[in-house]
Amino acid sequence: MNVRVKGLLILGVLLVALYYVFPTYRAYFTNADPLSVEGKLNLGLDLQGGMYLDVEVKAGEAVREVTRRTAQELEDVMIDEQIDFIEVRQTSPTEAVIEMESGKTVDLEVSPFDRFIVQYDLLTEGNLIRLTLRPDEIKRIRKNAIKQALEVLRNRIDGLGISEPSLQLQGENSIVIQLPGLKDRDKAIRLIGPQAVLEFYLTNPDATPNTYNRLTEIVKYQEVWDKATNTLLRKNPYVLEKKILLTGEFIRDAQVRFDPQTNQPYVSLSFDSIGADRFAKITRRSVGRNLAIVLDDKVQSAPVIREAITGGEASISGQFTVEEASDLGLVLRSGSLPAPIQIREERTVGASLGEDSVAASLNALLLGGLFVLVFMAVYYRVSGLFAVAALVFNIILILSVLSAFGATLTLPGMAGIVLTIGMAVDANVLIFQRIREELRRTENPRAAIKEGFAKAFRTILDANVTTLFAALALLQFGTGPIKGFAVTLSIGILASMFTAIIVTRLFFDLVYLQRRQLKAISI
């Protein structure tokens, strides 16, 4: 190819690369507010500070819950319809069994039972009817649970006031949450963590955990904490009637209020119209009894119902600080998660540590670059400077490709770039050594340059392709930071082949091969 055409093409590549790098430069090295700059290279949470969470949605629990509810509602309807049965029990997350009185049958295919069985396969064995959740239904429930969880978590995170939060599905049942610039780590966990299932039960004050009726009642506990030392003092047992009277799904709003007498914060709930009607009915029927408010299986309080509550208002009091009460309000407003979640992985980095890391890796980059520059210039003279110029081009290319793809630069990614500096000169070293060898063999520097490039090319290709394999294997690692390293390393390998072979060659073309008479080269 004509040298001038080649030169223009390479110049074009450089200009495009600079175009993509410019926003990054403007965002981090000028007075511009990084947030307002589009197309910049994003810094990973380990460099700018923030929280990375990988939470697992226990979707299997949502499946279990569907079957549990089906079994309970079916039982209620069968009682209403006066069917002769012994019990309906859940035998596994996906299976419920109706035990009929011997000789009696029930036709589940007709109203009002048919609506319960659309999701199930039926199997009658003597006086047992087995309802098994169909596999496609299980899949659908799980998928919905994850989708819904994502939605609820998004709502809760909005309450944190983070400027660029990100939530992503990962794999089958994980959600990766990234909160750049997060300040209060505990608060984030407090908002994200709880399932926030709110349930109302009637208590049975006469029963104890040793004497309660296992068929119709359950025991749940109230935890009493010493706030000063953060230790659990005791657990108060409550015997509750098994039937759930009302759940949090009817909550319209939840706000922090203060008890005028004690000045204690509490969470005031207001129900929507359906919830308000139900709440009125429940409280009217049960005046004088205790209504237990249960949040995520823990009894919050069990106040006495003094009169029918018709305004659709309830309150949750407990040992809250103002902040905890307002967080709980936010969580309840955002709705409950369809299944509990568990934090699989947390990586939280403070902003100051992020800054230190940026400074440290930039220093390493500069010092490493300086080392290589000095070495190459001393050992290969002018040719060494060609290699260094190619190296600078290489770094610009890496940054521009990362910016163009909207990639995120992490600390290991920075390490990858630093490492690339060391390894990228290898291709030039291979070429230069070849040229030196050729120069020993021949008097013609022009031929030596051409031969050197040609002979080194195959070696460079083989050596880099194999390194690329290692980097690609690294890419399939799950965790973010390591991926960042693999990405910059892979891009670095590809970019270095371009700069070391093509860009360096251009310098030789321009500086040496253009000359009419070439007596010696500086290598």
Partner 1 sequence: MKPTTDTPHFIDFLGKRRFAIIFSAVILIAGFVSVITHGGLNYGIDFRGGTNVQIRFADAVDLDSLRGLFKEQDLGNVVLQTFGSEEEHEILLGLPVDSALGTGEDLTAKLRGVLGTQYPGLEIRRIETVGPRVGDELKENALLAIVVALGLILLYVTFRFEWRQGVSAILTLLHDVLVVVSVFSLLDKEFTLSVVAALLTVVGYSLNDTIVVFDRIRENQGRFRKQALEWVMNLSITETLSRTLITSGTTLLVVTALLVLGGEIIFDFAFALLVGVLIGTYSSIYVASPLVLRLNKGQRPRSANAESKPAPEQQAS
Q: Contact with partner 1 (CB under 8 A): which of 236, 343, 515, 522?
A: 343
3-class DSSP state of 518: coil
CB-wise, 317 or 464, nearer to partner 1? Answer: 464
- 361 near partner 1, rule: CB under 8 A: yes
486 burial (CB, 10 Å; 0-12 / 13-18 / 19+) is buried
Neighbouring C-alpha atoms within 13 Å toward the C-beta of 112 = 11
Q: Contact with partner 1 (CB under 8 A): which of 187, 257, 281, 446?
A: 187
Enter the tokens of residue 107.
């036709």
- 482 near partner 1, rule: CB under 8 A: yes
Q: Contact with partner 1 (CB under 8 A): which of 150, 305, 419, 494?
A: 419
Q: Of the listed pieces 113-121, 248-256, 410-418, 503-511, which binds partner 1 according to CB under 8 A?
A: 410-418
Q: Of the listed pieces 274-282, 300-308, 310-318, 417-425, which binds partner 1 according to CB under 8 A?
A: 417-425
| Residues in CB range of 237: below 8 A, 6 or more apart | 208, 209, 219, 220, 221
Note whether 65 and 151 are within 8 A (CB). Answer: no
Q: Contact with partner 1 (CB under 8 A): which of 313, 379, 454, 515?
A: 379
* Sites for partner 1 among residues 113-142 (CB under 8 A): none
Strand-strand pairing, 42-43 and 408-409: parallel
* Sites for partner 1 among residues 189-248 (CB under 8 A): 189-190, 193, 229-230
- 375 near partner 1, rule: CB under 8 A: yes
**Calculated CA dihedral for residues 367, 369, 372, 375, nearest 10 degrees:** -60
What CA–CA distance (Å, rounded) separates 476 from 484?
A: 11
Binding mask 78-107 for partner 1 (x = CB under 8 A): ------------------------------
* Sites for partner 1 among residues 152-171 (CB under 8 A): none
Please state the closest distance from residue 404 (CB atom) to partner 1, in A.
24
Please state the closest distance from residue 312 (CB atom) to partner 1, in A.
30
What CA–CA distance (Å, rounded) separates 369 from 374?
A: 9
- 481 near partner 1, rule: CB under 8 A: yes
CB-wise, 152 or 246, nearer to partner 1? Answer: 152
26, amino acid identity: R
Please state the closest distance from residue 487 (CB atom) to partner 1, in A.
12
Enter the tokens of residue 415.
């390490």
Please state the closest distance from residue 501 (CB atom) to partner 1, in A.
15
Enter the tokens of residue 222.
């109230």
Give bridge partners of residue 52 from the DSSP assignment: 178, 347
Note whether 192 and 174 are within 8 A (CB). Answer: no
* Sites for partner 1 among residues 458-477 (CB under 8 A): 458-459, 462-474, 476-477
472, amino acid identity: L
Binding mask 4-23 for partner 1 (x = CB under 8 A): --------------------
Enter the tokens of residue 62.
């949502």
Q: Of the listed pieces 233-241, 418-426, 444-452, 501-509, which binds partner 1 according to CB under 8 A?
A: 418-426
Q: Of the listed pieces 7-15, 64-72, 281-289, 407-415, which binds partner 1 according to CB under 8 A?
A: 407-415
338, amino acid identity: P
* Helix and strand element counts for the chain (H, E): 13, 19
- 510 near partner 1, rule: CB under 8 A: no
SS3 of 344-357: the string is EEEEEECHHHHHHH
Please state the closest distance from residue 519 (CB atom) to partner 1, in A.
21
